[in-house]
């Protein structure tokens, strides 16, 4: 199957009656991602706002269409209009990445969300994170953009992340298997237990799904993920993750599609809009 990253997928398709909201967005890929920064509010920042407790549920919205629907219920302005913090949708890094991906694809720009770990939030730690990639045809490469921190100073160029600043789940797994990193430094910020090898395995699988245009929530689990977090998977599962890492590194669409549809890796129907 050919995976066309310039076209929306199940999680990145806007409803027909939402398309006019994107008409005023800029054409430059980085500026599209920057616009998303004015639409989404990270839960850490939301905690400082006088928001109703029920609004934290917005971080569980999967499709971009549902994110936009929630956003326009708060403020019906078009998507090129930045909102004050209390009128943004509460969402994790995955919301920033997936909404950016949706709006880039809407403009016909090849884009994909990536699931992995950022090395720039906590010194000495690689923190669970999602970013967006878009294709620069003139340079024949995928550019990594962190929409969540555009305009910030966490890295020198969040619009073009340097090698090693963000590691996909598969890249982190390969470094772990080579003995180049301590797996216990990889995990979810703000937790004490969500660190280690299982977190790397989980993000490798989520990244494969994202390459297949299935951008799940960071805490969605399927296949043997739960068993992995419980420490009950064996060497055969690690060999499967080896294959996931190698396939994601090559990112050949046919290979991604073939592996994605194998046992333990396909996103179950109940998670798909």
Token couple for 83: 């909102």
Q: What is the per-residue DSSP string for 127-181? A: EEEEEEEEEETTTTEEEEE-GGGTTSSSSS-TTSPPBTTEEEHHHHHHHHHTT-S
Which residue's structure tokens are 């963000």? 166
**pLDDT tops 90 at residue 263:** no
Which residue's structure tokens are 């951008």? 215
Residue 1 maps to a domain: no
Residue 53 maps to a domain: yes
Instruction: State how many domains the chain has.
Output: 1
**Where residue 1 falls among pLDDT bands split at 50, 70, 90?**
low
The conformation of residue 80, written as its DSSP 8-state character, comes to T
Question: What angle do helix axes 235-250 and 253-260 make, rounded to 10 degrees?
Answer: 150
Q: Cβ contacts of residue 103 below 8 Å, gap of 6+?
A: 22, 25, 32, 35, 36, 64, 79
**pLDDT tops 90 at residue 146:** yes
Token couple for 14: 């806007």
CB 153 within 8 A of CB 214: no
Question: What angle do helix axes 197-211 and 169-177 make, rounded to 10 degrees?
Answer: 140
**pLDDT tops 90 at residue 2:** no
**Strand locations in 165-239, DSSP E?**
166-168, 186-187
pLDDT digits (tens, 9 = 90+) for 101-118: 999 999 999 999 999 999
Residue 125 maps to a domain: yes
**pLDDT tops 80 at residue 81:** yes
Q: What pLDDT is recorded for position 245?
A: 98
CB 250 within 8 A of CB 257: no
pLDDT digits (tens, 9 = 90+) for 203-259: 999 999 999 999 999 999 999 999 999 999 999 999 999 999 999 999 999 999 999
pLDDT digits (tens, 9 = 90+) for 14-51: 999 999 999 999 999 999 999 999 999 999 999 999 99
Q: Could you list the residue range(s) of the whole structural domain that residue 49 is in?
A: 16-271
- List the helix and strand counts (H, then E) for the chain: 9, 7
Residue 3 maps to a domain: no
pLDDT digits (tens, 9 = 90+) for 172-200: 999 999 999 999 999 999 999 999 999 99
Residue 11 maps to a domain: no
Q: What pLDDT is recorded for position 135?
A: 97
Q: What pLDDT is recorded for position 11?
A: 98
- Residues 66 and 85: their CA atoms lie apart, in Å, by 19
For the whole prediction, is pTM greater than 0.95?
yes
Helix (H, G, I), strand (E, B) or coil at 187: strand
Q: What pLDDT is recorded for position 145?
A: 98
Residue 127 maps to a domain: yes
Residue 246 maps to a domain: yes
Query: Nearest CA to 187 among 231, 130, 128, 131?
Result: 128
Residue 187 maps to a domain: yes
The conformation of residue 233, written as its DSSP 8-state character, comes to -
């Amino acid at each position: 199957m050919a995976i066309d990253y310039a076209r929306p997928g199940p999680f990145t398709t806007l409803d027909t009656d939402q398309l006019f909201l994107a008409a005023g967005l800029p054409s430059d890929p980085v500026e599209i991602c920057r616009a998303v920064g004015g639409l989404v509010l990270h839960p850490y920042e939301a905690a400082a706002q006088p928001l109703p407790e029920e609004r934290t549920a917005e971080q569980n919205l999967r499709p971009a269409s549902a994110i936009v629907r929630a956003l326009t219920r708060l403020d019906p302005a078009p998507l090129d209009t930045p909102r004050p913090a209390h009128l943004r949708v509460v969402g994790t890094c995955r919301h920033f990445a997936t909404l950016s991906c949706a709006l880039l694809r809407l403009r016909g720009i090849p884009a994909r969300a990536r699931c992995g770990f950022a090395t720039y939030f906590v010194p000495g730690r690689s923190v669970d994170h999602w970013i967006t990639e878009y294709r620069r045809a003139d340079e024949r490469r995928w550019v990594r953009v962190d929409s969540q921190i555009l305009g910030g100073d966490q890295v020198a160029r969040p619009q073009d992340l340097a090698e090693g600043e963000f590691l996909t789940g598969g890249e982190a797994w390969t470094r772990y298997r080579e003995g180049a990193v301590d797996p216990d430094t990889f995990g979810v910020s703000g937790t004490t237990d969500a660190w280690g090898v299982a977190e790397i395995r989980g993000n490798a699988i989520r990244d494969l799904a994202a390459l297949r245009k299935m951008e799940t929530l960071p805490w969605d689990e399927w296949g043997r993920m739960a068993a992995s977090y419980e420490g009950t998977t064996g060497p055969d599962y690690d060999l499967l993750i080896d294959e996931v890492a190698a396939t994601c590194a090559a990112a050949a669409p046919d290979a991604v599609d073939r592996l994605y549809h194998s046992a333990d890796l396909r996103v179950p129907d109940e998670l798909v809009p």
